[in-house]
Structure 1
Amino acid sequence: MTSGMEQAKRPVSRWLAGPYGHPIHPILVTVPIGAWVASLVFDLSSQAVSDPAFLTRGSMWLIGIGVLGALAAAMVGFLDLFAIPPGTTAFRTAIVHMSLNLTITVAYAANFLWRRDGGGLDDAVAPGPLVLSVAALAALGVSGYLGGKLAYHYGVRVADETTQAEGYRH
């Protein structure tokens, strides 16, 4: 295994980024993904009920929870980024992944403020915030694909094949 590949598999800080072969970033991203998917379900459901206030307010708070979760995931994700050798295809993929995620997080933070300050929390979600949520969630799908490519294709922060083979011994 080349030294660059080995470097990308080892944490910059075991205590902050997670131990070898078991990074923290992938588990943290489930918070914003789950919150933002649920917020869109609430948004769409608010369009179909007679009293949408609970769904509209719930969606706004799910967006806020997602933003906080994304910030936590980003901090740990930066540590994973530092493990990847600069100038590599994996590093360029990680930069695009990070840039998309930061843009998505800003979009959701703006969406939260738009909803909070725009009123209408007793009505169905307005078309503008709804469209922003759909677009941000679509971008999140692209970014998630890139994150999967980093882990499953390039093996960033994944144990090397010798270590993985231990799980298949009788």
Structure 2
Amino acid sequence: MTSESQLPAKRPVSASLAGPYGHPFHPILVTVPIGAWVAGLAFDIASHVVDRPGFLTQSSEWLIGIGVIGALLAAVVGFLDLFAIPAGTPAFRTALIHMTLNLLVTAAYAVNFLWRRGDYTDGGSVGLGPLVLSAVSLAVLGVSGFLGGKLAYRYGVRVADESTQAEGYRAGRSTGDANSPV
């Protein structure tokens, strides 16, 4: 059962900006930087394996830039979700740590992008420094992702209340399209 203290964290501050009730935008937006940065690290490593690594080095730089832009967009929506969590609660403290780690990772990737800027023009592999920075940043992002999961799955931030969730488990006709599996 959802308590009164949890209700604000379940409702969006602005449905048009943060996503409607039960469908927050933040979880879908974070897939952009995560995917870009994981692929970027894979390209970094691969640049040390192939004969002509310039295309991988250049692609990794682009992926890091795309990830930074995606992370900034996800952060805007994440801030809106943060404002819905009551201050002084374990959920709020977890959200602050999650936010801080994400901002640090985004800053590290912005530095990494600038560090690499134009390095691919010589056709060489990604340098050891930028590669290590990507790996460490991705590890910190994993910790932050764990905390994000805790916010959603343990504390129920921006997750529909149990009575709304129960609609998906009632036998018979759903409230949606009868031909839709969802």
What TM-score comes out, normalization by structure 2 length?
Answer: 0.91
C-alpha deviation, 1:132, in angstroms: 0.1
Give deviations 1:54-102, integer Å, cap 9, x for gaps: 0000000000000000000000000000000000000000000000000
Change (3 A) 1:119 1:34: closer
Matches within 5 A, 1:1-170: 1-116=2-117, 122-170=123-171
* Aligned CA-pair RMSD: 1.1
Pick the structure with more helix per residue: 1
Contact 1:57 1:121 in 2 (8 A): no
- For residues 95 and 121 of structure 2, what CA distance do their matches in structure 1 show? 38
- For residues 14 and 6 of structure 2, what CA distance do their matches in structure 1 show? 17
- For residues 87 and 120 of structure 1, what CA distance do their matches in structure 2 show? 50
* Runs of 5+ unmatched residues, structure 1: none
- For residues 106 and 16 of structure 1, what CA distance do their matches in structure 2 show? 24
- For residues 105 and 116 of structure 1, what CA distance do their matches in structure 2 show? 16
* Runs of 5+ unmatched residues, structure 2: 172-182
Helix, strand or coil at the partner of 1:123: coil
- For residues 166 and 102 of structure 2, what CA distance do their matches in structure 1 show? 33
Contact 1:114 1:129 in 2 (8 A): yes
C-alpha deviation, 1:148, in angstroms: 0.4
C-alpha deviation, 1:119, in angstroms: 6.3
Contact 2:58 2:120 in 1 (8 A): no
- For residues 141 and 119 of structure 1, what CA distance do their matches in structure 2 show? 28
- For residues 120 and 23 of structure 2, what CA distance do their matches in structure 1 show? 43
Contact 1:39 1:60 in 2 (8 A): yes
What TM-score comes out, normalization by structure 1 length?
Answer: 0.97
The number of aligned residues is: 170
> For residue 84 of structure 2, what is the amino acid of its counterpart?
A
Q: Percent identity?
A: 69
Contact 2:43 2:57 in 1 (8 A): yes
